[in-house]
């Protein structure tokens, strides 16, 4: 028995935690590693963004709606605000879900955090966990101006010929 090492640490291999080795270091237990990546590859993220609902009157490369209908802004990925989003595994990675387009959805960060690694979460529960955010067109214009330096609209006809001054 190694002195100063609790039985909890000695039994680390049973719990999947690192264990103390004879040469005086820590070693990870043999992993049952998966060959596919945990995060989505860039091309899958791009295609996943393209699948999300377009926001009428706005540039689809900048604005979308997540799987619950929440407004999200392209530049705000993996942050905690009302316009922030993540690329979510519909079937969680921890439950065997793959990082492929068919298992990807854009989801507001707050809703994604509430979903966690569960699959049996109701849409109502996720909507309640979503951060409410209502923006006027002028607010969205300011977001674009700040992030991109300009404002793109889907088409001038959809705005009745109005332009930002």
Q: How far apart are CA 164 and CA 99, in angstroms?
A: 40
Q: In Å, what is the CA distance from 103 to each residue of 48, 51, 99?
A: 9, 12, 7
Q: How far apart are CA 141 and CA 158, in angstroms?
A: 15
Residue count (the chain): 165
What pLDDT sits at residue 9? 41
What pLDDT sits at residue 104? 98
What pLDDT sits at residue 154? 79
pLDDT beyond 60 at 90: yes
Strand partners, 88: 105
| Mean local confidence (pLDDT), 17-31 | 57
pTM above 0.75?
Answer: no
What pLDDT sits at residue 4? 44
| Mean local confidence (pLDDT), 142-150 | 97
Q: How far apart are CA 116 and CA 76, in angstroms?
A: 20
pLDDT beyond 90 at 19: no
What pLDDT sits at residue 71? 98
What are the sequence ranges of the domains in the chain?
Answer: 1-27, 42-151
Q: What is the pLDDT of residues 34-65, one digit of tens each?
A: 677 889 999 999 999 999 999 999 999 999 99
Q: How far apart are CA 50 and CA 101, in angstroms?
A: 11
Tokens of 129: 């966990």
Q: How far apart are CA 163 and CA 157, in angstroms?
A: 10
| Mean local confidence (pLDDT), 63-79 | 98
Arithmetic mean of pLDDT over the chain: 84
Could you tell me if 131 and 86 are in contact, meaning their C-beta atoms sit under 8 angstroms apart? no
DSSP 3-state assignment of 45? helix
pLDDT beyond 90 at 95: yes
């Amino acid at each position: 028995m190694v002195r100063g090492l609790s039985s909890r640490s000695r039994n680390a291999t049973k719990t999947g935690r690192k264990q103390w080795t004879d040469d005086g270091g820590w070693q990870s237990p043999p992993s049952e590693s998966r060959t596919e990546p945990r995060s989505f590859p860039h091309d899958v993220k791009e295609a996943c963004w393209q699948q999300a609902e377009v926001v009428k009157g706005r540039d689809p490369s900048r604005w979308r709606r997540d799987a619950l209908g929440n407004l999200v802004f392209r530049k705000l990925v993996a942050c905690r605000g009302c316009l922030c989003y993540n690329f979510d595994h519909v079937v969680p990675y921890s439950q065997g879900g793959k990082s492929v387009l068919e298992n990807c959805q854009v989801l507001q960060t707050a809703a994604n955090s509430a979903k966690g690694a569960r699959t049996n979460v109701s849409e109502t529960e996720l909507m309640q966990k979503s951060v409410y955010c209502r923006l006027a067109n002028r607010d969205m214009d300011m977001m674009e101006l700040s992030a991109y330096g300009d404002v793109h609209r889907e088409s001038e006809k959809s705005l009745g010929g109005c332009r930002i001054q």
